Amino acid sequence: MARTSRRQFLKIVGATGATLLAGNNSASASHEKVVNNEAVGMLYDATRCVGCKACMASCKRVNGDYGSLSFEKAKFDSDGLWDAPEDLSGSTRTLIKLFKESDKQWSYVKYSCMHCQNPSCVSVCPVSAMTHDKLTGIVDYNKNACIGCRYCQVACAFNIPKFQWERAIPQIVKCDMCKNTNLVKKGITACAEVCPTGAILYGKRKDLLQEAHRRLEEQPQKYVQRVYGESEVGGTNHLYLAAMPFKKLGLPALGNDAPAEFSEKIQHTIYKGFIAPVALYSTLCLIAVRNMKKQNKGGMQSHHDHNGDRTGGEQ
Amino acid sequence: MSHDHYQRHDAKIMTPSFIVLLVLTVIGFALIGVRFVKGIGAVSNMSDGYPWGIWITYDVATGTAIACGGYAMAILIYIRNHFHYHPMIRSAILTSIFGYGLAGFSVMVDVGRPWNAYNFFIPSKWQANSAMFEVALCVMAYTTVLVLEFLPAVLTTLEKTEWRTLQSLLDILHRKVGLKKQENLAERLESVKTIAAWLKPRLDKVLIFIIVLGITLPTMHQSSLGSLLLIASTKLHPLWHTGFLPLLFLINCMYIGYSIAILESTISCYAFKRPFETRELAGLAAIIPWLTVIWLSVVVGDLAWRGQLGAMFSLDFYSGFFLLEFCLVAAGSLLLFSRRNRQSIRWLFVSAALIVLGGALYRFNVYLIGFNPGKGWHYFPALAEIMITVGIVAFEIIGYQVLVKILPVLPKLHTRQEQDAQLAEKA
């Protein structure tokens, strides 16, 4: 009796393992998501940026109320004279930093949401607070749905979503391409609108890519010969050109597969049509009910033995 | 199933350990108050790089594994048909209730916008791609199932109670505060008893289906706790990031479950001065090494397959923690392969402790230690953050201590003596 049930048990463990294995295999044979080049995005050309930070100021001015942004007091700022965020944060959606290779060689770099084609944050959000607009490609955040679990932060390969750690009523903060503010009113993001040198271009992804490649071709000696974001994690709508290696500018070296594809394949294989859980439950029910019956029978026969007080009730 | 092989532990509730735990609980809950007034940043060292700290890593990811005693025992008894372990299940389920209940509570402390949690019940907000969604629903369902599984203990007590404590409490209130005595109180209490008596046999009939649900749900969400980190392919160290995370977490929670059942039984027998359940525990312990051997083989096989065996022995920070986790589990299992060690309560305790430590370290490695969001981010829990976790765990232990003293939870001693005598006869 014990032996058969052990076999059954091992079978179940084996079956679970097999399901997972299958998931793993099908993950490598992926059906690729088509890149939507009609999506809107931005092209940031680090070689044209002069570091005026007008984009930062304008972002905060335009999105301050809607996006719950505030000015940031730096540690050195005892007189309250600066808005000097150290990094993207619960108060800052976009940020200009300066990378210094040497006194002669340096490059500005802009950080903000990359608006991935297959965003991890959207894939992991349990309550659909992060959404990906199929048409525009904008990755948006809805604080009225968000439970604040911060899984999006864990998932984002660029560390973009930020959380308001110091507030009693916190939310996630990240760029939404001015979807509800400047884009509605003026048809352009606030940062691109105010950029005096054209370092930030707003437009459709296909046009931006074309422009980027034109620049790479026209001045090959000026640029690193690659458009960052063209293929990273399945493609992003925020694209970069730079004269310095992107990794030095704080843009991580990433593969071309979206992490969400890998995790979703496994999760989908296990839970496809909810068949596996239902099958598991019914199999276990069969085994357990049969065992219970056997047990009760055994209990009757040896009523005065060890099973006595189990079947007999009050004694 | 009748409930006569369980008994209440007759002892005082107010013990010194109770008071120490109570103080810790109060401190923890006061700090939780601070967290809700001043924000999470005020009590924790979590950051945008390490958005999950020990509250998720310990209270949720590890705490629910430690609470898998009920799950592991249910598989053993109902699926593998070892009904002689049945007397042990009630205390296992009780610890599971506390483990899961408090994991749920910790989540509510940890999430930033808990008032939006109702979105889990709104179909238009469901997001089946998210492992977190699966974990959340499963854990909520499982906690309910656990309470149902435990209900017979409560019903039995309600059926037989004389309401002495309540009566004397009311008497005191009546005397000191001048609270009016309700005339129909006895009648009402009687009706509660009748309802309990009515409900119990009916619950017994469907209980097996609830119990099996209680086996299915942890299988689902324990594997999903591993799936949670699948997405972090660029942040989790390759020693731990693998497509097998769900399978590894599932087996991991099973061997932790059996080991923790051994630890709980040993500790509670020691603390409550009951005879050790060595024979039952030896049987449990015989299962563990098989699970750990499967687990260790999957770990090594997967590393070999992904070409990461070298990372195991690179002896850096990550390989150190990996080897520690690996050796703890392996050492505990090696001890348990020997029949003689399994018959000794001391070795049982030591090996189960090693395996729980190793298994828990695995979960810490996946959620925190092997997690590297990039340059410049560091995390070590703040004192207040730790005290909140300590407070929650202390509350858990208090709850267990109190409930085993007012409800029939622990195995009845004379049942065990009978069984022993019977076994001796057979031999």
Considering the domain boundaries, does residue A252 fall inside one? Answer: yes
Cα separation, A30 vs A121, in Å, equals 20
Position A30 scores a pLDDT of 41
To the nearest 5 percent, what fractions of chain A are helix, strand and coil? Answer: 40, 15, 45
Interchain proximity A289–B208, CB inside 8 Å: yes
Considering the domain boundaries, does residue A315 fall inside one? Answer: no
**In sequence order, what are the residues at sequence separation of 6 or more whose Cβ sits closer than 8 angstroms to the Cβ of residue B300?**
B309
Domain region containing A143: 40-257
Residue A274 C-alpha, separation from nearest chain B C-alpha, in angstroms: 11
Considering the domain boundaries, does residue A90 fall inside one? Answer: yes
Q: Model pTM?
A: 0.87
> B223 — contact with chain A (CB < 8 Å)?
yes
Scored b (16 or more CB within 10 A) or e, A227-249 reads: bbbbbbbbbbbbbbbbbbebeeb
Residue A81 C-alpha, separation from nearest chain B C-alpha, in angstroms: 24
Cβ-based contacts of A149 with chain B (< 8 Å): 107, 110-112, 132
What is the average pLDDT across B412-420?
66
What is the average pLDDT across B206-223?
91
Decide: B110 and B55 in contact? Cβ < 8 Å: yes
Interchain proximity A88–B48, CB inside 8 Å: yes
A245 Rama sector, left if φ>0, alpha if ψ -120 to 50, beta otherwise: beta
Interface of B with A in 242-281 (CB under 8 A): 243-244, 246-247, 250-251
Residue B21 C-alpha, separation from nearest chain A C-alpha, in angstroms: 28
Considering the domain boundaries, does residue B38 fall inside one? Answer: no
Residue A49 C-alpha, separation from nearest chain B C-alpha, in angstroms: 24
Considering the domain boundaries, does residue A16 fall inside one? Answer: no
Cβ–Cβ pairs < 8 A, chains A and B: 238
- Tens digit of pLDDT for each residue in B142-198? 999 999 999 888 888 887 777 777 777 777 777 777 666 666 777 888 888 888 888
> B374 — contact with chain A (CB < 8 Å)?
yes
Position A26 scores a pLDDT of 40
Interchain proximity B78–A292, CB inside 8 Å: yes
Interchain proximity A288–B211, CB inside 8 Å: yes
Considering the domain boundaries, does residue B40 fall inside one? Answer: no
Q: Which helix (H) or strand (E) holds A140?
A: strand A139-141
Q: Which of B78, B230, B373 lies at the smallest CB-CB distance from A263?
A: B230
> A284 — contact with chain B (CB < 8 Å)?
yes
What is the average pLDDT across B279-283?
86
Considering the domain boundaries, does residue A156 fall inside one? Answer: yes
Interface of B with A in 382-401 (CB under 8 A): none
Decide: B222 and B253 in contact? Cβ < 8 Å: yes
Cα separation, A151 vs B44, in Å, equals 17
- 3-class SS string, A72-93: CCCCCCCCCCCCCCCCCECCEC
Interchain proximity A123–B227, CB inside 8 Å: no
Interface of A with B in 148-167 (CB under 8 A): 148-151, 153-155, 157, 159, 161-167
Interchain proximity A262–B227, CB inside 8 Å: no
Helices B131-160 & A259-271 angle (0-180, nearest 10): 40
Interchain proximity B247–A17, CB inside 8 Å: yes
Confidence of residue B81 (pLDDT cuts 50, 70, 90): confident
Query: CATH no. for residue A193?
Result: 3.30.70.20
Cα separation, A30 vs A27, in Å, equals 6
Cα separation, B410 vs B404, in Å, equals 7
> B240 — contact with chain A (CB < 8 Å)?
no
Cα separation, B23 vs B397, in Å, equals 13
Query: CATH no. for residue B242?
Result: 1.20.1630.10
Considering the domain boundaries, does residue B155 fall inside one? Answer: yes
For the record, the structure tokens of B239 come out as 């020693």
Residue of B43, B60, B127 to mutate, testing the A interface (most A Cβ within 10 Å of its Cβ): B127
By C-alpha distance, the chain B residue nearest A90 is B48
Considering the domain boundaries, does residue B302 fall inside one? Answer: yes
Please, which residues bridge with residue B254 across strands? none
Total domains in chain A come to 1
CA B142, B145, B149, B150 torsion-angle sign:
positive
> B208 — contact with chain A (CB < 8 Å)?
yes
By C-alpha distance, the chain B residue nearest A251 is B374
Cβ-based contacts of A87 with chain B (< 8 Å): 48
- Tens digit of pLDDT for each residue in B358-415? 999 999 999 999 999 988 899 999 999 999 999 999 998 899 888 888 888 888 776 6
Domain region containing B253: 46-113+127-379
Position A22 scores a pLDDT of 45
Position B401 scores a pLDDT of 86
* Helix residue ranges per DSSP H, A50-150: 54-63, 120-124
> A271 — contact with chain B (CB < 8 Å)?
yes
Residue of B43, B80, B120 to mutate, testing the A interface (most A Cβ within 10 Å of its Cβ): B80
Cα separation, A81 vs A78, in Å, equals 8
- Tens digit of pLDDT for each residue in A22-74? 444 443 334 456 789 999 999 999 999 999 999 999 999 999 988 888 888 88
Position A114 scores a pLDDT of 96
Q: Residue B170: exposed, middle, or buried by beta-carbon count in 10 A (0-12, 13-18, 19+)? A: middle
Interchain proximity B232–A9, CB inside 8 Å: no
- Tens digit of pLDDT for each residue in B313-367? 888 999 999 999 999 999 999 999 988 888 889 999 999 999 999 999 999 999 9
Considering the domain boundaries, does residue B87 fall inside one? Answer: yes
What is the average pLDDT across A180-202?
94
Considering the domain boundaries, does residue B319 fall inside one? Answer: yes
CA A226, A228, A233, A238 torsion-angle sign:
negative
Residue A249 C-alpha, separation from nearest chain B C-alpha, in angstroms: 12
For the record, the structure tokens of B413 come out as 């001693």
Cα separation, A125 vs A127, in Å, equals 6
Residue A314 C-alpha, separation from nearest chain B C-alpha, in angstroms: 8
Considering the domain boundaries, does residue B10 fall inside one? Answer: no
Considering the domain boundaries, does residue A238 fall inside one? Answer: yes
Q: At B7, phi and psi to the nearest 5?
A: -145, 160
Position A4 scores a pLDDT of 45
Considering the domain boundaries, does residue B83 fall inside one? Answer: yes
Considering the domain boundaries, does residue A162 fall inside one? Answer: yes
Interchain proximity B82–A146, CB inside 8 Å: no
Cα separation, B269 vs A122, in Å, equals 49
- Tens digit of pLDDT for each residue in A215-231? 999 999 999 999 999 99
Total domains in chain B come to 1
pLDDT at A17 over 90: no
Q: Which of B1, B80, B131 lies at the smallest CB-CB distance from A310?
A: B1
> A218 — contact with chain B (CB < 8 Å)?
no
Cα separation, B129 vs A269, in Å, equals 11
